Amino acid sequence: MSKTIPLIAGQFYHIYNRGNNGEDLFCEPCNYAYFFELYIRHVYPLVETFAYCLMRNHFHLLVRPRTDLTGFQNLSGLGASSGLDEPNYSQHFSNLFNAYTKALNKAYQRSGNLFERPFKRILVDSDRYLIHLLCYIHRNPQKHSFCDDFRDYPYSSYRAIVQDKNTRVMRAEVLSWFGSFKAFEEYHAQFDEQQIQHLIEDDC
């Protein structure tokens, strides 16, 4: 399921990856902040972001490549500058990972790849899968014992959705999938990851 497939505008994708040879991706809090900074620079203008979770040695994203890229034509890799009908969305993710790797290599005196290649992507092809995946992503830190309660984890989109603050996550659309804020919380609380485990080829 995680074979290299093209990222197509208007489709939902589960993007995930882990450190090369099990290596940590994030060594201290400032690393998470810098990854988000690079994400906003390289990827955010081209995709709608519905969920994310960054953990010490792996990450998960739920995104939908944008169909309306008016105003973004000057970004490298877009169709307007390359002669293609659509941007090379995968290249922009690769640019993010390469930029982050370069920065960590310099900061921690390391060399070589930081992420496994190619990064993994799965097409989300049903509404049921979409909702299950979103809950799975939010609950992942608790599953892997990075926290006692996924609701308190600082590097996932769960708190961005439940808190009434400005966010780049598509909060309103996410909540509309569940029908209400209360239903969103209850679904997460009762979610059984076995509902989606067969769809995750090699969970990090």
Give yes or no for a contact between 173 and 131, defined as CB atoms under 8 angstroms apart: no
pLDDT for position 31: 98
pLDDT for position 83: 43
pLDDT in tens, the chain (204 residues): 445 789 999 999 999 999 999 899 999 999 999 999 999 999 999 999 999 999 999 999 999 999 987 655 555 445 443 444 678 999 999 999 999 999 999 999 999 999 999 999 999 999 999 999 999 999 999 999 999 999 999 999 999 999 988 999 999 999 999 999 999 999 999 998 776 666 665 655
165 burial type by CB count under 10 A (0-12 exposed, 13-18 middle, 19+ buried): exposed
Prediction pTM value = 0.89
pLDDT for position 201: 58
pLDDT for position 202: 60
pLDDT for position 101: 97
* CA distance linking residue 116 with residue 20, whole number of Å: 5
Q: ω into residue 87 within 30 of 0, thus cis? A: no
pLDDT for position 177: 96
pLDDT for position 68: 85
* CA distance linking residue 24 with residue 10, whole number of Å: 32
* CA distance linking residue 158 with residue 161, whole number of Å: 5
